[in-house]
Amino acid sequence: MLDAFEILTTSGIVLWRRHYAPLSSNVIDSLVRDVFIEEKQKSGGAENSAPSYKKDRYTLRWTSAKDVGLVFVAVYRSLLHLSWVENLLAAVRGLFTKAYGQELRKPHTLKVDTAQWNPMFDALVNRLDTGSTRRQSDTLDSEGPTELTPPSSSAGDDAHEPPPVPAPLFKKPAIPAKKGVVVDDTTSTDATPVPTPDTSRPATPGHAASHILTAKGGPGKASRRSRKGQTFNTSAPASSGDESSAGRTLKGSGKNATKGKRRWDIDGMAVEGDDDGVLDYSAPATPGPDTADRELDVSDVNTSQMGSHTGKGQFVLKDLDDEVDAILASSKQQSTSTTTTNGEIATGSGLLNTATSRLTSLFRNVVGGKTLSKSDLQQPLQQMQTHLLEKNVAREAAERLCQSVEINLLDQKTADFTSIDATIRDSMTKALTRMLTPTSSLDLLRDVSSTTSGPGARPYVISIVGVNGVGKSTNLSKIAFFLLQNRFRVLVVAGDTFRCGAVEQLRVHVRNLSALSQREGVGKVELFEKGYGKDAATVARDAVAFATNRDGHAQVQGQGMLYDVVLIDTAGRRHNDTRLMSSLTKFGQLANPDKVFMVGEALVGTDSVAQARNFAKEFVDTKGKLRNNGVGMDGFIISKCDTVGDMVGTLVSMVHATGIPVVFLGVGQHYGDLRGLNVGWAVDKLMK
Amino acid sequence: MAKIEDLLTWALSPTISAILVTLIFSLTLPVLIHYYLYKRAVAKELPTFLLLGPSGGGKTALLTLLATGAASPTHISQAPQTAICQLPSTTRASEDQYRSENDTSSRSQPSILLLDTPGHGKLRHHAFSSLTSPAAIKGLLFVVDSAVLSSAAGLTEAAEYPYDILLLLQKRHTQGKTSKGPQAIPVLLVANKQDVFTSLPAGLVKSKLEEELGKVRLTRSRGLLDSGIGMEDDTDEEGNWLGEYGAKTFRFSQMREHGVEIDVVGGSMNGEGEDPGNVHECWSWIGANI
């Protein structure tokens, strides 16, 4: 069952909401932030598929109506699998836009009167709700349990009931039919119990699925919650089996040699006691008095529903059905016929026809006011994509940018006196700016000063990673120079214990930097190294401990922190070498850096995407969550920017692949050649 | 046929009646055309107030409260939103400041256009472009979440946006091309969410923000150069230093020389008592600055 359904505008105002269960507002907030603004996930290609997004225990599916600027979101628990939500979203979108679209198109509208919408929504849910199934493993979904439960019109009543139970397919064969202990198998109040044949109820799914889902259900006493959670899954044979077998042995005297009937109560625990309940569900129940009543009840409800809303009410219901059918049918048709429109570009035969059409389109191109269709955009977008590829943007990133521009511009009108090319350029500039602008800009000096002062003062740890030969050690010394000029004490750690000459290279850098800093009388820089062949993670950890000077090493007693910033260099590694990449995880956990920067060179081509992705996913903390809010690293340093001139597309590729912002640019081979990123400058260069 | 010929002959002949008819026609025709074209009367340009601030501050909720009188539930904004609000009857507009209280002549309260912009880092360009656009902005409402400011991390994050905005206002003033300079824009800092337990009062919000802005301007002046260094006309230090050049601490009063007046009020959406929300002070400031 749905937990919530909300209709909100692109400016964030909630026009209408329906909460079936309490839901905190930050679930939908994070959907908007992650998908629409930061675009960490593909926000849905076709208009008709409802993509899904997971947060905590919820799955959110959404669709949007761009012309009126609305977003429709349905929220339900991830354990359930509701297949009708897509249709519900499409139907709601169509009906709501039709009912309130006029009002919403007027400027300055903040609210719409949604009093009439509530019964329409209820009716829609009643109509489309086909029940839910508890999400099992994927192989079992193909058995289609929902086909056994007929969609009923009274399923809407379940809106206020506790979460439903899955279809009978996944229950163990022995189900009690005692009145008091009714395990409701179906989500709808059926008149008769569903006649499920014995053969379609294999015993193995229960066992097969259990090992996937019931990791906690070990033998012995499982907690009550896990037992409850296992009720609707195939009950773990281990736990319940043991109990029931224990129970059985206790009662063994009463049962003799025959296998005792096993019964389960609602919690999945074996019920001992009298077994005079009928366990066989396969035979259709004899139409007893209560079932007849229930049948009558259902039909009563039906007729009263149709009968009580005579005139206006009945009319509305019928209309609704027709409309909904039309909407669903059209959406299905749209999704299947995507390529037919492409073929019909120039249907007019004859020279005059094509000439006049070309002239009018040229005229419209110059004057503006042209509604853009797919065929209009195809050619210029192709050119734009080639332009981006020439600027060294990876193909994947260029394609995705062009697709997002196309989705934005489809069915929009061009402004006055702007051609299609200009419109596309403008839209692409906006898309690039949005992609390159970070959510919160990095102020390194501010971060360092706040960490190294105050009550919980500790050294600030920065580590640099990257593939071989991109300029890690050089850029690390540039950062060290920058920090030294701001009067911090820097400890450079030679974490590259593999490449020959790496430690000596850093020693030379540190010598130069200390000479420079002594000349100006600022800061202090030292090298921490343990030679070659050691594990980089332990070297890093020792270095941080040394800088913190918490337990007071033999050399320096009675002082606070020895160093303000610890800069850790690491060995270059290929991103497709799994052994070396996995050692990064251990490094990240032991050294626990405040910032992890990955260096990528501006000269690299399409490989940048794979590099960025592989490096980002290595930095997980001990709980398995990626650090820094799930992105992995804290920033990119793009080196050797002076060598590429205008072709700075690597910026875009790496940001697109991971969502991590670019923090520094290396523009030369001297210590002072480090710059921050100016988004306008970068976009200018890309669009030149 | 003959009649038409006669009519045309008369029209082109130098008779007094023909001249009079021509005069009347040529004078009234443009007037008629003017009325026809401007029948859909272009609305008088309303004074515009801009709502901005870090994400999660409550700007969209404030917009709905000011416009409709009741705060709607909101989520993160993706796009700017405008609304037309009318001053409540209890607030005096600046144009009425010399009227007596007992003046019984009927007058309608002026209305304003409120423009709400997204606060997310990637979408702040809407606010910046509104500030630099030619449309006249009468005032800026900067909404911050007072509860977030009580933690150090929240304070740091919340300070970079006001820094950028104030620097933009300062540059607008100091680097104006004409001698007259652009119209000064007053700023109202709304310390929102005062009903939350951990929120700071308005005075404390002001002093904390001033302190933090001082630190930010220090680190920005010492930070790395931008990669777009050749693009801007001037890169002198004085232009990029907020407030008084070389001063140790930053105070909002230092912005007064650039024509930026900053006031601080507290506000909350879920107020108890007779009024929903506590936005009297917002209204009185808006009324004073129309």
Q: Sign (positive/negative) of CA torsion A366, A370, A376, A380?
A: positive
Cβ of A110 within 8 Å of Cβ of B67? The answer is: yes
Cβ of B74 within 8 Å of Cβ of A437? The answer is: no
Residue B118 with chain A: CB contacts under 8 Å: 11-12, 37
Residue with the two structure tokens 């820089």: A525
Mean pLDDT of B62-78: 85
pLDDT digits (tens, 9 = 90+) for A588-631: 888 888 899 999 999 888 888 888 888 888 887 777 677 777 77
Cβ of A12 within 8 Å of Cβ of B120? The answer is: no
Lowest mean pLDDT among A370-374, A514-518, B154-158, B270-274: B270-274
Does B223 reach chain A within 8 Å, measured CB to CB?
yes
pLDDT category of residue B67 using cuts at 50, 70 and 90: confident
CA A168 to chain B, closest CA, distance in angstroms equals 40
Residue of A nearest to B226 (CA): A676
According to DSSP, the residues that pair with B49 across neighbouring strands are: B114, B139
Does B76 reach chain A within 8 Å, measured CB to CB?
yes
Does B120 reach chain A within 8 Å, measured CB to CB?
yes
Interface test with B, best of A11, A70, A108, A664 (most B CBs within 10 A): A11
CA distance to A82, A84, B174, B286, per residue, from B138 (Å): 51, 50, 19, 9
Does B77 reach chain A within 8 Å, measured CB to CB?
yes
Per-residue pLDDT at A308 exceeds 70: no
At A265, list the tokens: 């109560």
- What does the H/E/C string look like for A239-271? HHHHHHHHHHHHCHHHHCCCCCCCCECCCCCEC
Q: What DSSP line would sit under A562-609, residue for residue?
A: S-SEEEEEE----TT-HHHHHHHHHHHHHH--SEEEEEEETT--THHH
Distance in angstroms between the alpha carbons of the first and the last residue of chain B: 65
Closest among A51, A76, A77 to A64, alpha carbons compared: A51
Q: What is the pLDDT of residue B248?
A: 80
Residue with the two structure tokens 């796009």: B79
Q: What is the pLDDT of residue A305?
A: 43
Q: What is the pLDDT of residue A492?
A: 93
Residue B78 with chain A: CB contacts under 8 Å: 10-12, 32, 36-37
Per-residue pLDDT at A567 exceeds 90: yes
Per-residue pLDDT at A24 exceeds 70: yes
Cβ of B224 within 8 Å of Cβ of A108? The answer is: no
The 3-state DSSP class for residue B86 equals strand
Residue of A nearest to B152 (CA): A450
Per-residue pLDDT at A280 exceeds 90: no
Rounded Cα distance, A460 and A449, in Å: 9
Q: What is the pLDDT of residue A42?
A: 64
Domain boundaries, chain B: 2-38, 47-95+108-288
Mean pLDDT of B224-241: 65
Q: Give, as one character, the DSSP assignment of residue A45.
A: S
CA distance to A71, A101, A323, per residue, from A105 (Å): 15, 6, 22
B54-B55-B56 Cα angle (round to 5) = 115
Closest among A380, A412, A438, A440 to A679, alpha carbons compared: A438
Cβ of A434 within 8 Å of Cβ of B123? The answer is: yes
Cβ of B160 within 8 Å of Cβ of A439? The answer is: no
Cβ of A12 within 8 Å of Cβ of B78? The answer is: yes
Interface test with B, best of A23, A32, A37, A70 (most B CBs within 10 A): A37
pLDDT category of residue B27 using cuts at 50, 70 and 90: very high
Rounded Cα distance, A79 and A675, in Å: 48
pLDDT category of residue A275 using cuts at 50, 70 and 90: low
For the beta carbon of residue B35, count every other beta carbon within 10 angstroms.
Answer: 9
- For A345, list phi and psi in degrees, rounded to 5: -85, -60
pLDDT digits (tens, 9 = 90+) for A282-304: 755 555 444 444 444 444 444 44
Rounded Cα distance, A225 and A235, in Å: 13
Cβ of B224 within 8 Å of Cβ of A434? The answer is: no
> Domains of chain A by range and CATH?
1-114 (3.30.450.60), 142-335 (no CATH), 347-436 (1.20.120.140), 444-687 (3.40.50.300)
Rounded Cα distance, B133 and B141, in Å: 17
The 3-state DSSP class for residue A620 equals strand
CA A25 to chain B, closest CA, distance in angstroms equals 7
Report the greatest alpha carbon distance in chain A.
Answer: 101
Residue B72 with chain A: CB contacts under 8 Å: 13-14, 110-111
- Cβ contact A548:A592 at 8 Å: no
Q: What is the pLDDT of residue A35?
A: 84
The 3-state DSSP class for residue B226 equals strand
What is the predicted ipTM?
0.78
Per-residue pLDDT at A656 exceeds 50: yes
Per-residue pLDDT at B91 exceeds 60: yes
Q: What is the pLDDT of residue A599?
A: 92
Segments of A107-227 assigned E as strands: 133-134
Lowest mean pLDDT among A88-92, A165-169, B37-41, B200-204: A165-169
- Cβ contact A459:A561 at 8 Å: yes
- Cβ contact A288:A60 at 8 Å: no
Mean pLDDT of A348-363: 72
Per-residue pLDDT at A496 exceeds 50: yes
Distance in angstroms between the alpha carbons of the first and the last residue of chain A: 52
Cβ of A675 within 8 Å of Cβ of B81? The answer is: no
- Cβ contact B158:B52 at 8 Å: no
pTM of the predicted structure, to 2 decimals: 0.71
- For A58, list phi and psi in degrees, rounded to 5: -105, 150
Burial of A160 (0-12, 13-18, 19+ CB in 10 A): exposed
Q: What DSSP line would sit under A426-484, residue for residue?
A: HHHHHHHHHHHS-SS---HHHHHHHHHSSTT---EEEEEEESTTSSHHHHHHHHHHHHH
Does B151 reach chain A within 8 Å, measured CB to CB?
no
Residue B80 with chain A: CB contacts under 8 Å: 11
Does B42 reach chain A within 8 Å, measured CB to CB?
no
- Cβ contact A243:A219 at 8 Å: no
For the beta carbon of residue A194, count every other beta carbon within 10 angstroms.
Answer: 15
Rounded Cα distance, A631 and A621, in Å: 12
Which residues in A451-461 are b (16+ Cβ under 10 Å) and which e? bbeeeeebbbb
Total number of residues shown for chain A: 688
- Cβ contact A110:B81 at 8 Å: yes
Cβ of B68 within 8 Å of Cβ of A110? The answer is: yes
Does B75 reach chain A within 8 Å, measured CB to CB?
yes
CA B281 to chain A, closest CA, distance in angstroms equals 23
The 3-state DSSP class for residue A665 equals strand
Cβ of A37 within 8 Å of Cβ of B226? The answer is: no
Residue B220 with chain A: CB contacts under 8 Å: 443
* Partner-chain residue, chosen from A11, A25, A680, that has the shortest CB–CB distance to B79: A11
- Cβ contact B112:B49 at 8 Å: yes
- What's the mean pLDDT when you consider all of chain A? 73
- Which is the CATH superfamily of the domain at B47-95+108-288? P-loop containing nucleotide triphosphate hydrolases (3.40.50.300)
Residue type, A2: L
Closest among B96, B79, B78, B100 to B87, alpha carbons compared: B96
pLDDT digits (tens, 9 = 90+) for A136-159: 544 443 444 444 444 444 444 444
Cβ of B122 within 8 Å of Cβ of A38? The answer is: yes
For the beta carbon of residue A517, count every other beta carbon within 10 angstroms.
Answer: 20
Which residues in A165-174 are b (16+ Cβ under 10 Å) and which e? bbbbbbbbeb
